[in-house]
A = this chain, B = another copy of it.
């Protein structure tokens, strides 16, 4: 019987070297976010198909791995469409399960509730280099806090974590969906066009301001409205002054308090940050998901050309489960992206302990094996990792392999059956 050796399409086996980095980042995440008072929680990987198909997940809902009904519930003969065959699916993100979790357990949880979730999610995307169909997401969320303390804590916790991973000089860009909307309203665009306009605005970093203007006009929007809209982005100031100027321009259309809120977040973060980064206002920041209702933020690293974290406030989502409004704000690091960057940089996990390999000659009796194992345990008690293994026939090759696995040559010790042979 011959079985399939490769993993299923688009998913991957993780080798020890990568796993060591993943485990290290995971423990740093738990330690750092734990220090900020976030509690780890977990939801099942399998979710109700009704929840997964509830239009909260945007494009991701097209990519669900669906799970077949079992036993008598599966009636193939009478099934007319896919929906008749399935009752659940693999989660495509951690935000929808968090909302269900909070709706289910709010009475048992503190208020505000600070949640940390790390877990795999699945999307049946077209397979491509560096993108996988199973990948880990790592989210922190604060539920039930309407104030910007939530944003400030999320930004501090996330940037502190990145700092501990030795990332420097990155930028937190921040905006507010209400500013985005006010800008579009100011220009005279009607509300039903907002989403399309934001999709075009989102291309700013690729096509520039002229490109955005051209594409707006090309898409049939009024030329003078498009020009008025684009004039809002000509101000290059990215600090709190930039927000004040935007506030002036948007007088009458921008919700009161919105600009002051952003300014307070930036000022507070600037005063107490732990890591080496900038925080700036970016009126071109859009963030894709339509569930965001207020502040949105993203962390980019120039050196790697893409964002490594993103999040925002989504005050309306949990209410869809409960009927009761629950404020919510979250920040998610790109776990897989960060692992890839660390691997490419040749990142070495800082070791408090050293690796040893003890090789025992074949045929050693239990007295001799015990002796070697006792010595190994003494090393372990001092914090070392000790691999005890049979000495292979080809000892030279075995040692070469161990050196490749990170064992120093003088940390590989031979143990013969009798001390005489030494």
Residues of A within 8 A of B (CB): 1-8, 11-16, 19-20, 22-23, 27, 30, 34-37, 39-48, 50-51, 54-55, 65-68, 70, 74, 76, 79, 81-82, 85-88, 90, 100-101, 103-105, 108-112, 114, 120, 122, 124, 133-134, 145, 147, 149, 152-153, 156, 264, 267-268, 271-272, 274, 320-323, 353, 355, 357, 360, 362, 365-367, 369-370, 373-374, 377, 380, 384-390, 392, 398, 401-402, 404-405
Contact = CB atoms under 8 A, between A and B. Distances in A.
B385 A321 contact: no
Given A272-B374, A373-B268, A385-B34, A16 B3 contact: no
B13 A47 contact: no
Contacts of A1: 54-55, 320
Contacts of A6: 104
A74 B360 CA distance: 55
A3 B321 contact: yes
Nearest to A88: B8
Contact of A46 (B134, B398, B404): B134
Specify the main secondary structure of chain A where it touches its partner: mixed
A14 B39 CA distance: 11
A168 B360 CA distance: 30
Given A2-B323, A79-B76, A100-B4, A149 B44 contact: no
Given A68-B86, A81-B76, A377-B274, A20 B40 contact: yes
B46 A267 contact: no
A37 B385 contact: yes
A14 to B, nearest CB: 4
B36 A380 contact: yes
A51 B370 contact: no
A48 B4 contact: yes
Contacts of A68: 65-68, 82, 85-86
Contact of A111 (B30, B377, B401): B401
